[in-house]
Chains A and B, each alone.
Chain A
Amino acid sequence: MHETCIIIGASHAAAQLAPSLRQEGWPGPIMVIGDEACLPYHRPPLSKAYLSGEKSAPDLLIRSADVYTRFGIEFRLGERVESIDRSRKTITLRGGEELAYGKLAICTGTRVQTVTLPGSTLAGVHYLRNIEDIDRIKADVRPVGRAVIVGGGYIGLETAAVLNKLGMHVTVLEMAPRVLARVTAQQVSEFFQRVHREEGVDIRTSIAVNGFEGDSRVDRVVCADGTHFPADLVIIGVGVTPNVELATAAELATDNGILVDAFARTSDPDIVAVGDCTMHPSPLYGYIRLESVPNATEQAKSAAATLCDKEKPYAALPWFWSDQYDIKLQIAGLNQGYDQVVVRGDRSVKRSFCAFYLKMGKLVAADCVNRPQEFMVSKKLISEGIELTPGQLADESIGLRTLLDGARSDVST
């Protein structure tokens, strides 16, 4: 009798890990346990094409149901794992059922940070993480209605763009002096503020929300400075928290994420962890925790190999994307600790430029706005550690690809 591999969590990481496990040669049963009702689905379109109505729920499935059947993968959906007993190698479901594992994969992801402000539980106040959240939001969308978004991060801005397109009057309230303050440079924040204002979204920065008011449902948002905003719909997008409680309770090492090595191994040799919930080593950036689909998918491939006693280290360069209006933002690398920003292209009038982030003269990240080619090249420049001067990066007269090819041939000669 072969042992079972149990995967806790049924999102992007699981959708890759389960079939990859089979491909790597796992002979026993594979069981995926998820607390949502549906098979793993693409989350990035939730705040974009799903909210706008361009995509429906079946379009979002990462793989169709028959694929999992073909790979012999069993799903237990709408179930929650309450605890892990590492000494007995079992997990316990909320209903009390105990399941034995040979190997275990924790892919529990993140959850939204909630706020505890007066009125925050009123009807019409939403968070955005799961497909059900969006279904609730969609039910509150009315053309010419007023939407207030609390938090000017990527999710908040993507949502603002879609609700604006759907005909709502949208206001974004950001506590920091600029939107995207945690993730981009001033120059990029200013660009997105301009674009949203041009599109008709009211962006307010340096403003703190005090609470929400309304009788049966929310009708206005009240701020600390006394201003208030009428609202038919409120969406709070103020970040996420990794789901590490199961791991912590089982005494696995955690630190703002479940600690894993480059092979996705936790401190228990029979347990791996994958995706947003992990704190993992990156060759370029040290220990990092990412909120990223490509990270979950690529790390899952390493984890699948590990569970089958093979070694495939995970070392991919982090990257991200965001679609808003006619803008495709692609981000290569992580800008943590940057000390210089170099802009290529015009960010004040047009909608196409790059912001390069340097740390002690070394390129660590690039935000590419409608510059897919520069994004592709930036990934290579960063991962290959190719050094270009700020002057070269800013000079539009020489293509980035030419610079890359030139630097590569210099290395080889």
Chain B
Amino acid sequence: MPVINYLQSNGKTFEVEVPVGSSVMQGAVDNMIEGIAAECGGACSCATCEVYVDEAWIGVVGEACDIEKDMLAASSAWRTNSRLSCQIEVTPDLNGLVVMIPAA
């Protein structure tokens, strides 16, 4: 099972296994990782699961769709490597992925 690394802004890190086909958001939800509220449960509707994808992984993770880009553009935490973690499906290629959770 792919391992995803979640880094919180307070320096705490979580290294958790997330099943293929699940999402980076669901991995955080299942491990009660603070900072990923996931209010809409993965419907790309709330932007409360924003993460920064580690620069080394951006190419593997890929780009956001238009709706996601629009939501992110209005986020006060936005950076060029922002993504909504509900829209990142976990694949074997993402084993070792590192994402940072914006400060609240």
A298 and B39 within 8 A (CB): yes
Q: Does A321 contact B (CB under 8 A)?
A: yes
Interface residues of A in 293-310 (CB under 8 A from B): 293-294, 297-298
Interface residues of A in 47-81 (CB under 8 A from B): 62-64, 67, 71
Q: Does B40 contact A (CB under 8 A)?
A: yes
From A20, A63, A67, A294, give the contact of B40 (CB < 8 A).
A294
A376 and B32 within 8 A (CB): no
Residues of B within 8 A of A293 (CB): 39-41
Tell me the minimal C-beta distance from A310 to chain B in angstroms: 15
Tell me the minimal C-beta distance from A291 to chain B in angstroms: 15
B40 and A23 within 8 A (CB): no
Question: In the complex, A71 Cα to B76 Cα: how many Å?
Answer: 33
Stretch from B42-50, B53-61, B96-104 at the A interface: B42-50
Nearest chain B residue, comparing its CB with the CB of A329: B45
- Contact of A376 with B75 at beta-carbon distance under 8 Å, contacts A63-B29, A63-B30 already known: yes
From A64, A319, A401, give the contact of B74 (CB < 8 A).
A401
- When each residue 65-104 of chain B gets 1 if its CB lies under 8 Å from chain A and 0 otherwise, what string results? 0010011011110000000000000000000000000000
Interface size on A, residues (CB 8 A): 30
Nearest chain B residue, comparing its CB with the CB of A48: B43
Nearest chain B residue, comparing its CB with the CB of A68: B30
A44 and B41 within 8 A (CB): yes
From A328, A370, A376, give the contact of B47 (CB < 8 A).
A376
Q: Does A27 contact B (CB under 8 A)?
A: no
Query: Secondary structure of the B side of the interface?
Result: loop
- When each residue 257-301 of chain A gets 1 if its CB lies under 8 Å from chain B and 0 otherwise, what string results? 000000000000000000000000000000000000110011000
Residues of A within 8 A of B40 (CB): 44, 293-294, 321
For this complex, into which size category does the number of interface residues on chain B fall? 20 to 34
Interface residues of A in 195-232 (CB under 8 A from B): none
Tell me the minimal C-beta distance from B1 to chain A in angstroms: 12
Nearest chain A residue, comparing its CB with the CB of B22: A64
Q: Does A336 contact B (CB under 8 A)?
A: no
- Contact of A71 with B32 at beta-carbon distance under 8 Å, contacts A328-B45, A373-B71, A376-B74 already known: yes
Residues of B within 8 A of A71 (CB): 32
Residues of A within 8 A of B42 (CB): 42
- When each residue 19-48 of chain B gets 1 if its CB lies under 8 Å from chain A and 0 otherwise, what string results? 000000000011110000101111111110
The interface centre, meaning the residue of A323, A375, A380 with most chain B CB atoms within 10 A of its CB, is: A375
Question: In the complex, A330 Cα to B67 Cα: how many Å?
Answer: 12
A294 and B39 within 8 A (CB): yes
Tell me the minimal C-beta distance from B9 to chain A in angstroms: 18
Residues of B within 8 A of A112 (CB): none
A-B residue pairs, 5 tightest by C-beta:
A376-B74, A294-B39, A321-B45, A372-B70, A372-B71
Q: 15 A-B residue contacts at CB 8 Å?
A: A23-B32, A44-B41, A44-B43, A63-B30, A64-B30, A293-B40, A293-B41, A297-B37, A297-B39, A321-B40, A321-B43, A323-B45, A370-B67, A371-B70, A372-B74
- Hey, which bits of chain A sit against chain B, CB under 8 A? 19-20, 23, 42, 44-45, 62-64, 67, 71, 293-294, 297-298, 319, 321, 323, 328, 330, 370-377, 380, 401
Given A321-B45, A328-B44, output 7 extra A-B contacts at Cβ < 8 Å.
A42-B42, A63-B29, A71-B32, A297-B39, A328-B45, A371-B70, A372-B74
